[in-house]
Amino acid sequence: MREVIVDLGPRSYPILIGAGILSAPDIVTRWLPGPQALVVTNSTVAPLYLARVRDALTGSEVRTLVLPDGEQHKTLAVMNQIITELLRHRYSRDACIFALGGGVIGDIAGFAAACYQRGIAFIQIPTTLLAQVDSSVGGKTAVNHELGKNMIGAFHQPRVVLSDTEVLATLPRRELRAGMAEMIKYGLIRDAGFFRWLEENIDRLLALNADALPHAIERCCRIKAQIVAGDETEVGARALLNFGHTFGHAMETALDYRGWLHGEAVAAGMMIAAELSVRLGRIDAGAVARIADVLRRCELPTRVAPGISALRLREFMGVDKKSRSGRLRLVLLDAIGSAALEDNASDEDVMAAISACLPETS
Amino acid sequence: MREVIVDLGPRSYPILIGAGILSAPDIVTRWLPGPQALVVTNSTVAPLYLARVRDALTGSEVRTLVLPDGEQHKTLAVMNQIITELLRHRYSRDACIFALGGGVIGDIAGFAAACYQRGIAFIQIPTTLLAQVDSSVGGKTAVNHELGKNMIGAFHQPRVVLSDTEVLATLPRRELRAGMAEMIKYGLIRDAGFFRWLEENIDRLLALNADALPHAIERCCRIKAQIVAGDETEVGARALLNFGHTFGHAMETALDYRGWLHGEAVAAGMMIAAELSVRLGRIDAGAVARIADVLRRCELPTRVAPGISALRLREFMGVDKKSRSGRLRLVLLDAIGSAALEDNASDEDVMAAISACLPETS
């Protein structure tokens, strides 16, 4: 079992990574603050892994709540359903929520935990690659608003993240590829060596190789843990983790959170950000070609979703949290492995970069 | 101008108390993190004081949102209206929300500030006595759920609390009396000398005496600031501030947040808690008589709201946040001026104390 510590003083916690750890009851129950637990999951994950988690929790007062699957259900109304369930069964302040699922479940169950009685414990059990390398780590929780993704949320750290790599065996290929987008992101923003490793090992990762996969997950978690430990509430460097996300979130909002997976939108968003980095003279076209190549090998999109104009995408960027005082705050590349914040990109350059990434019309 | 500091390290802030401070623009604007401000208020306060606050904010990008007045509107749905307003006008992470009103406005606007983009600044401008002495201080924000009061919320400290005692001149008498309930609470839990002072000065306070009123507000804020500084997230001593509230909240929930003001429910709740303290041999009947006397002089209720049975009240107490792991955590008195937590009151004693405070049937 691999362990990565997210070092946040009194809110520090471990990420435990390994094959089969969910089947070890002592690993799951060790973190419970009290006897009451609510496992929140979705209709896709429940038939696969809910029984395994329930079995591990024998002896506790366990209930489960199965939500519909999909980003479009990550709403305040669905979050309130979790609260209702907790209240109906009189869950107290030392109850614990388990988020068993991908990024959507982690975000909404984590936000419910942040708000219920002003904050109770929660435990992340990420079941997608994207959640294991990114969304389950760092304490960002949120639900979407029709005018913007993740606009209602909280920083609320889990007690522990339990990443069982075995569960990725049942992950749909498309979801696996979407998770690769975030892996590629870590290489791009912080670790050129890891990016090169990814270029060489993508096929092994997509084949769920038992050596390559845990290694890559651990490396991503270490990068994220290090950045989060230095800037828990994103007043500075944590924003680098949003590389590709400002464009990606705008795409997801424009699509009403349907059709594209988060990782897919991030892939296309990273291409726009790379294109803009070239325009501002930060990187050369060769770097962009490498990025496009690795995304294509993962069968990830490298262009904006069809039907969204550059102007419409730009509109939805305005409300994204990465803008401060009305100015767009973007994450650009200075090299593969090195990202920086940019507050002064002109609207013309932004529009040109988006336009360069629109789908080719036939 | 009087100043009380709430000492919470990086989240420390001052409470400024004085007549007319809202009319001093430099006092209001000094705390703004950026150019965007949203003043959230209600339909009762808006015609009285909204223009004054807007005038003080000249030069900023100010918008206002006027909510319906009343605890029954402190819901997740109304909180979402605030978020929508912020998003429609593209408010960024350095925007600021002003909560101009009583406890309901402070709670809901503060919770919106806690959640919007995972947390933006907010400033409390309490316009009721209850908010000036209690709810605006300490960072508790929340909305109600049909199954429990304040069950969805966050600890989110304001940047500053601006308590203009002049605004109390327009406060309805009933609201003024409701605020007295929280003042009496501070004396009961922490400060026998202040309780005695209240017994002697109640009539001056109810007459809004310009010396007595700011003195009493400051004293209450000092007590609360001291308790909050020692236990920001209520893992211990902060729970003492809930004296009378576990019973009071249950009453409010049973009444569907209509009919009784929060301070009125707290007054009746303090009587039940005092009654229970007698039953457990903590205080004598003479102390209860003094409490009842001072509440009656404020024309506050000393008995449970009509139509609620002891059993029904007990049911709604079970979900209140003061219970841990299913056991009721109550705040009782050991003397006037000294409160303590009690985890072991029997259900029989609790029911008997409630029954003793039911309204007399004719």
Question: Pick from B36, B319, B326: which is nearest to A87 by CB?
Answer: B319
User: Percent of chain A beyond pLDDT 70?
Assistant: 97
Same domain, A108 and A207: no
Label the pairing between strands B36-42 and B121-126: unpaired
Q: Is the pLDDT of residue A218 over 80?
A: yes
The CA–CA distances, whole Å, from A348 to A70, A152, A341 equal 34, 30, 18
| B115 neighbourhood in chain A, CB within 8 Å | 115, 152-154
Is residue B234 a part of any domain in this protein?
A: yes
Is A200 considered catalytic here?
no
pLDDT of residue B319: 61
Label the pairing between strands B140-145 and B61-67: unpaired
Place of tokens 């900023």: B60
Give tens-digit pLDDT for B268-288: 999 999 999 999 999 999 999
> Rounded to whole angstroms, how far apart are CA atoms A198 and B341?
57
| Helices A76-88/B76-88 angle, 10° precision | 160
Same domain, A140 and A155: yes
Question: Pick from A34, A88, A93: which is nearest to B147 by CB?
Answer: A88
Is residue B362 a part of any domain in this protein?
A: no
Is residue B235 a part of any domain in this protein?
A: yes
Same domain, A132 and A242: no
Is residue A361 a part of any domain in this protein?
A: no
Same domain, B196 and B135: no
pLDDT of residue B321: 47
Structure-block tokens of residue A113: 């935990």
Same domain, B139 and B286: no
Work out the widest C-alpha separation in chain B, in whole angstroms.
61
CA angle B138, B331, B324 (to 5 degrees): 85
Question: Pick from A140, A152, A154: which is nearest to B83 by CB?
Answer: A152
Same domain, A187 and A74: no
| Chain A residues within 8 Å of chain B (Cβ atoms) | 34-36, 76, 80, 83-84, 87-88, 90, 92-94, 114-119, 140, 142, 145, 147-148, 151-155, 233-234, 318-319, 321, 323-326
Same domain, B30 and B153: yes
Same domain, A75 and A110: yes
Structure-block tokens of residue A219: 């490396």
Amino acid at B243: F
Nearest CA in chain A to B112: A152
Q: How confident is the model at residue A344 (pLDDT cuts 50, 70, 90)?
A: confident
pLDDT of residue A24: 85
> Rounded to whole angstroms, how far apart are CA atoms B134 and B128?
10
Amino acid at A160: V
The helix or strand, by DSSP H or E, that contains position B241, with its residue range, turns out to be: none
> Rounded to whole angstroms, how far apart are CA atoms A130 and B327?
40
Domain termination site, one of A130, A153, A170: A170
CA-based nearest distance B74→chain A, Å: 14
Place of tokens 């209602």: A152
Closest to B151 measured CA to CA, from B318, B341, B347, B331: B318
Structure-block tokens of residue B236: 């211990």
Closest to B48 measured CA to CA, from B206, B164, B170: B170
pTM: 0.93
Split into its structural domains, chain A has a count of 2
CA-based nearest distance B87→chain A, Å: 6
| B87 neighbourhood in chain A, CB within 8 Å | 145, 147-148, 151, 319
Burial A30-66 (b: 16+ CB within 10 A, else e): ebbbbebbbbbbbebbbeebbebbbebbeebebbbbb
Amino acid at B211: D
| B90 neighbourhood in chain A, CB within 8 Å | 318-319, 323, 326
Rounded to the nearest integer, the mean pLDDT of chain A is 94
Same domain, A165 and A178: no
Question: Pick from B76, B155, B325: which is nearest to A76 by CB?
Answer: B76
> Rounded to whole angstroms, how far apart are CA atoms A313 and A26?
47
Same domain, A81 and A123: yes
**DSSP state, B95?**
-
Closest to B305 measured CA to CA, from B279, B276, B275, B267: B267
> How large is the ipTM?
0.92
CA B137 from chain centre, in angstroms, equals 8
CA angle B29, B67, B91 (to 5 degrees): 50
Is B234 considered catalytic here?
yes
Check B148 against A35: CB less than 8 A apart: no
Q: How many CB contacts within 8 angstroms connect chain A with chain B?
A: 105
Check B155 against A119: CB less than 8 A apart: yes
Nearest CA in chain A to B142: A118
pLDDT of residue A209: 96
Structure-block tokens of residue A176: 């696996």
The helix or strand, by DSSP H or E, that contains position A235, with its residue range, turns out to be: none
Closest to B287 measured CA to CA, from B184, B163, B183: B184
Domain termination site, one of B108, B139, B169: B169
> Rounded to whole angstroms, how far apart are CA atoms B284 and A115?
40
- Which residues, in sequence order, are bridge partners of residue A97? A38, A122
pLDDT of residue A326: 58
pLDDT of residue B78: 98
CA A258 from chain centre, in angstroms, equals 16
CA angle B136, B232, B129 (to 5 degrees): 20
Same domain, A196 and A316: yes
**DSSP state, A134?**
I
| A87 neighbourhood in chain B, CB within 8 Å | 145, 147-148, 151, 319
Residue pair A214/A2 in contact (Cβ under 8 Å)? The answer is: yes
Q: Domain residues for A244?
A: 173-356
Is residue B285 a part of any domain in this protein?
A: yes
Is A149 considered catalytic here?
no
> Rounded to whole angstroms, how far apart are CA atoms A256 and B88?
16
CA-based nearest distance A244→chain B, Å: 18
Is residue B344 a part of any domain in this protein?
A: yes
Q: How confident is the model at residue A321 (pLDDT cuts 50, 70, 90)?
A: very low
Check B153 against A35: CB less than 8 A apart: no
C-beta atoms surrounding B68 within 10 Å: 11
Give tens-digit pLDDT for A184-201: 999 999 999 999 999 999
pLDDT of residue A287: 97
- CATH number, domain at B228? 1.20.1090.10
> Rounded to whole angstroms, how far apart are CA atoms B53 and B293?
39
Is A2 considered catalytic here?
no
C-beta atoms surrounding A279 within 10 Å: 18
- CATH number, domain at B96? 3.40.50.1970
Same domain, A224 and A298: yes
Is residue A215 a part of any domain in this protein?
A: yes
Domain termination site, one of A154, A170, A186: A170
> Rounded to whole angstroms, how far apart are CA atoms A345 and A331?
10
Is B166 considered catalytic here?
no
pLDDT of residue B323: 52
Residue pair A361/A309 in contact (Cβ under 8 Å)? The answer is: no
Q: Which phi and psi (to 5°) does residue A342 adopt?
A: -135, 115
Closest to B59 measured CA to CA, from B38, B39, B36, B41: B36
Question: Which residues of chain B register pLDDT less than 70?
Answer: 318-327, 362
The CA–CA distances, whole Å, from B162 to A241, B33, B308 equal 38, 16, 37
Question: Pick from A92, A140, A154: which is nearest to B114 by CB?
Answer: A154
- Kindly give, in sequence order, each residue whose CB lies less than 8 Å from that of residue B225, ignoring residues fewer than 6 positions away: B4, B5, B6, B7, B15, B137, B138
Q: Where are the alpha helices (DSSP H) in chain B?
A: 25-29, 51-56, 76-88, 103-115, 129-130, 173-190, 192-206, 212-230, 245-254, 262-279, 285-297, 310-317, 347-356
> Rounded to whole angstroms, how far apart are CA atoms B246 and B250?
6
C-beta atoms surrounding A256 within 10 Å: 11
> Rounded to whole angstroms, how far apart are CA atoms B274 and A272?
66
CA angle B295, B296, B300 (to 5 degrees): 65
Is residue B361 a part of any domain in this protein?
A: no
Burial B264-292 (b: 16+ CB within 10 A, else e): bbbbbbbbbbbbbbbbbebbeeebbebbb
pLDDT of residue A267: 98
DSSP for B160-213? -EEEEGGGGGGS-HHHHHHHHHHHHHHHHHH-HHHHHHHHHHHHHHHTT-TTHH
Check B90 against A326: CB less than 8 A apart: yes
Q: Which phi and psi (to 5°) does residue B126 adopt?
A: -75, 135
